[in-house]
Amino acid sequence: MVEFAFVGVLLVFFVFGIIVFGLLLSFKQDVTRAAAEGARGGAVAVHTGADPTAPTDDRRYQAALAATREAVEGFDQECGVDGMACDVVLHDCDQAPIVGSVAYFASTEPDCVTVELRYDYEDFPLIIDPPLLSATLPDQISSKSVARLNR
């Protein structure tokens, strides 16, 4: 009985740690997938020739934001609510994908979309902080995805 009490506590501690790790890994995968979906949505949208000084009017920006919001809702979160921040930026790519090659577009017009998601895990934990494990949990879960825009 005494030996089982010692071993049982350790066993429960390890099992609970595995469950917490699995939950966080699954949530991180969802955040990464949502960022990729948002970038993909902006990349395939049709360019409207919008004013470069107002990028939020661009259809590619709107498509990326809509795809990101839809993907985030798939795992019961909402952009701008309860610690989930969703940022979409259209920008000029600094470099071509291959080192030493010429950039695809030599203009100031945006040719890339970046979607960045950040979840404030410290203030909005997914589960109750387990004792002894809370020091190992992340403060923030984030992911960034970049895609070249369709021309």
| Host domain of residue 40 | 2-148
| Predicted pLDDT at 81 | 92
Which residues of the chain fall short of a pLDDT of 50? Answer: 96-105
Contact 145, 39 (CB under 8 A): yes
Q: Quote the number of domains for the chain.
A: 1
Q: What percent of the chain has pLDDT over 70?
A: 83
Structure tokens, 34: 């949502």
User: Whole-model pTM?
Assistant: 0.80
Q: Which residue's structure tokens are 């577009």? A: 105
